[in-house]
Amino acid sequence: MTSETGVGAAAGVDRRTAASRMSTGRAGDKIFVSAARGSGIIVLLIMAAIAVFLVWKAVPALQDNKANFLTAEEWNPNAAPPRFGIAQLAFGTVVSSLLAMLIATPVAVGIALFISFYSPRRLASGLGYVVDLLAAVPSIVYGLWGLAFLSQHMEGISKFLNGALGWIPLFGGDSPGKNSIFTASVVLSIMILPIISSISREVFLQVPRANVEAALALGATRWETIRLAVLPYGRSGMIGGAMLGLGRAMGETIAVAMVLTFVPGINIHLLENGGATFASNIANSFAEASSTGRGALIASGLVLFVITLLVNMAARAVVARRKEFV
């Protein structure tokens, strides 16, 4: 009897302990959900506050503007009356960023594949750290390197591309130079390479080992295994990494401002000197801008804010369409 009583008491204690743990777990879940929801709301509020601030500061300058803000290529907000438009800035920003992404993405994915599947394990971690360290280099260092070293060697490369691909309008022109949108794109591609490579590498390492072993067991070569089992699984991650790199390139300021020479007007010949982006124009013009000029620069920053937001939304949409690989 005593033994049955002891067993019953122990069972009661166990049930109370389990109930207490369950209650604690539910409380922890509620706290986590509340914290996550609150963090998301705070981020949205911050973005909304930034947008409201930019609109508030930009409206007076836009009201004084005598040119079409969206289509005019002229940028002279300090004139009387002020005339400015973002056509050239939008063209330079989008083209240089897209070109940087096109240059960086294949190289970054190749680096990620080499580190994940080809490099010896002892060497892989060191290579990963070296690539990730590129993201820690300040933008001004990239700008100084691009100005003092890269641009000195880009004139010959630009002339070669002009001679070989001059029949394509983007690579045409009569005077290919060294301080062009193409040079700025090369600098940007090196800056965004570690972002794309790091994300792609992490995605490749999450590929189910069973998929890889099954492909190898069926007689596939290493490249066939990567093409059939790894790349489809990591496609959404690669696209997301490329889009993050694109957003990073669009907002880069100092490196582009140091490498790119400002020449008014849209020039579709990417190898010729000249061009401008939103960020580089803000960096170069803000110190000497009048109150109207600063409002104009803030208005251009608002457009960049919207473009970057649309790029991130597009990235989310592309990744969402490929959820079957996640």
State residue 14's pLDDT score: 56
Strand partners, 76: 83
Rounded mean pLDDT, 82-93: 88
Q: Which residue has the tokens 């803030």?
A: 298
State residue 21's pLDDT score: 60
Q: Is 276 a residue whose pLDDT tops 90?
A: no
State residue 326's pLDDT score: 47
State residue 41's pLDDT score: 92
| Confidence tier at 18 by pLDDT (50, 70, 90) | low
State residue 323's pLDDT score: 55
Domain membership flag for residue 36: no
Helix (H) or strand (E) holding 303: helix 291-320
The tally of domains found in the chain comes to: 1
Lowest average pLDDT, out of 5-9, 172-176, 279-283, 315-319, goes to 5-9
| pLDDT one-digit tens code per residue, 32-78 | 888 888 888 998 899 899 889 989 988 888 888 888 888 888 888 88
What pTM, to 2 d.p., does this model score? 0.82
> DSSP letters of 153-202?
HHHHHHHHHHHHHTTSGGG--S-B-SSBHHHHHHHHHHHHHHHHHHHHHH
Name the CA dihedral angle for 306, 307, 308, 310, rounded to a multiple of 10 degrees.
90
Per the structure block, which two tokens stand in for 283? 């960096």
Domain membership flag for residue 150: yes
Q: Is 118 a residue whose pLDDT tops 80?
A: yes
Is 172 in contact with 265 (CB distance < 8 Å)?
no
Domain membership flag for residue 20: no
Q: Is 3 a residue whose pLDDT tops 60?
A: no
Question: What is the domain-level CATH number for residue 69?
Answer: 1.10.3720.10
Domain membership flag for residue 21: no
Q: Is 226 a residue whose pLDDT tops 80?
A: yes
| Confidence tier at 106 by pLDDT (50, 70, 90) | very high
Report which of 301, 297, 303, 278 is spatially closest to residue 97, judged by C-alpha positions.
278
Domain membership flag for residue 33: no
What is the DSSP code (8-state) at residue 324?
G
Domain membership flag for residue 23: no
Cα(211)–Cα(204) distance, integer angstroms: 12
Domain membership flag for residue 37: no
Highest mean pLDDT among 67-71, 188-192, 320-324: 188-192
Domain membership flag for residue 90: yes
State residue 22's pLDDT score: 60
The domain of 139 spans 47-321
Q: Is 325 a residue whose pLDDT tops 50?
A: no
Rounded mean pLDDT, 125-129: 80
Report the share of the chain in percent with pLDDT over 90: 7
Rounded mean pLDDT, 148-159: 84
